[in-house]
Structures are given as structure tokens and as C-alpha cells.
Structure 1
């Protein structure tokens, strides 16, 4: 299997062009505050 390294390259995931979506910091803080008060189960 001389071409095994080439096959591994083909099987790898392609680079993603989009940036990953994230939750805004203020929303993360709000969820943490609600969890601390017991009014959130996220």
C-alpha cells in the first residue's frame, strides 16, 4: 500500500470556512445567574 498516506489525506475532514457559532457572553452570564437562583435547568 504505497499510497496509504495519500488515502489518509483524502479521508480527513475538510477545513471549515465558517466560524463556529457561539453564545454571546452576556447570555452565558444570564444563564449562570438563573441557574444560581434555581430558575433555569439549562
Structure 2
């Protein structure tokens, strides 16, 4: 049972890490898109 709980904890940590990475990726994509749009207006 102890090993199962540790595995679940690891999976939850991995999921949190993926969520964080996804948020950073989405943010950088939005910033890049904003930069492209600003260049078009110049």
C-alpha cells in the first residue's frame, strides 16, 4: 500500500509539473502572437 501511495504522489507531482509547463507554453505563445501582431501594425 505504501508503494501505491508513493506512486500516486509521484503521478500527481508529474501532473502538476505538466500543468505548469503547459501554462508557460501557452503564455509564451500568446506573447509571441502579440509580438507578431505589433510588427504588423508598424
Between Structure 1 and Structure 2, the one with more helix by share is 2
Shorter-chain TM-score tier? 0.3 to 0.5
TM-score normalized by the length of structure 2: 0.36
